Amino acid sequence: MALKALGVKEGDIVLCQSLTFAATANPIIYQNAIPVFIDSNYETWNMDPNALEEALQKYGERVKAVLVVHLYGLSTDMDRIMNICNRYNVPVIEDAAESLGTYYKGKHTGTFGKFGVFSFNGNKIITTSGGGMLVSDDEERIKKVRFWSTQSRDAARYYQHSELGYNYRMSNIVAGIGRGQLKVLEQRVAKRNIFLNIIKGN
């Protein structure tokens, strides 16, 4: 939905982190766009800003979005990524599926780019059994996504659909389960951080 909201279409290039789960890249293909994979670095385990800049120079105006990931809940170097993307005027989408509860310089991951995408899949830090969340401060685009994700039903008294619709709505029952789990989020993030510090050798 984020890619569609940014107008990504057939033949466009989306720069995407290579070290990630397939679900980061699949939506690029849904739009018939072309994923170009960018390597990660040793410091962040996420998208390498130097490699990103090289690709932006190489592909120029064909690049319509950059898709970064905060893998395992480790934050990407958002200062450098945002600085580079702003210079090239390319919107950033953050795949924050694994980083609920992660902050970068005091700001929550998933809130730096144009869109942030969170997952509440069964293997995530809190879960609604399935589904996720799209966040943005772009109210107009969020409104449009809400429309598409609830079957694109026009504001008519009868069933009328002028645009292709999707059934991506989270049900209120599973949303309730997710809200209940917010109570244990802090505790789980603290546990995860102990583990991350061990594997990162801190």
Other CB atoms within a 10 A radius of the CB of residue 8 amount to 22
Among the listed ranges 20-28, 101-109, 137-145, 175-183, the one in contact with ligand PLP (CB under 6 A) is 20-28
Q: Looking up tokens 């994979």, which residue turns up?
A: 37
Our finding on whether 31 is near ligand PLP (CB under 6 A) is no
Nearer to ligand PLP, 88 or 181 (CB): 181
Residues whose CB falls within 8 Å of the CB of residue 202, separated by 6 or more in sequence, listed in order: none
Please, are residues 6 and 138 in contact by the beta-carbon 8 Å criterion? no
Angle at the Cα of 143 from the Cα atoms of 124 and 72, rounded to 5 degrees? 20
In the complex, least distance from residue 155 CB atom to ligand PLP, rounded to whole angstroms: 29
User: Is 114 a catalytic site residue?
Assistant: no
In this chain, which stretch among 31-39, 90-98, 156-164, 185-193 interacts with ligand PLP, using CB under 6 A?
A: 90-98
Piece of the chain touching ligand PLP by CB under 6 A; list 4-12, 15-23, 145-153, 164-172: 15-23
- By CB under 6 A, residue 24 contacts ligand PLP: yes
Burial class (CB in 10 A: 0-12, 13-18, 19+), 92: buried
Any idea which residue has 């950033």 for tokens?
92
For 140, the enclosing helix (H) or strand (E) is helix 139-149
Examine residue 37 and tell whether it contacts ligand PLP (CB under 6 A). no
Interface positions, 108-137, toward ligand PLP (CB under 6 A)? 119, 121, 132
Euclidean distance between CA atoms 93 and 116, whole angstroms: 6
Residue tagged active-site, from 64, 107, 114, 124: 124
Is 178 near ligand PLP (CB under 6 A)? no
Q: Which residues bind ligand PLP (CB under 6 A)?
A: 20-21, 23-24, 69, 95, 97-98, 119, 121, 132
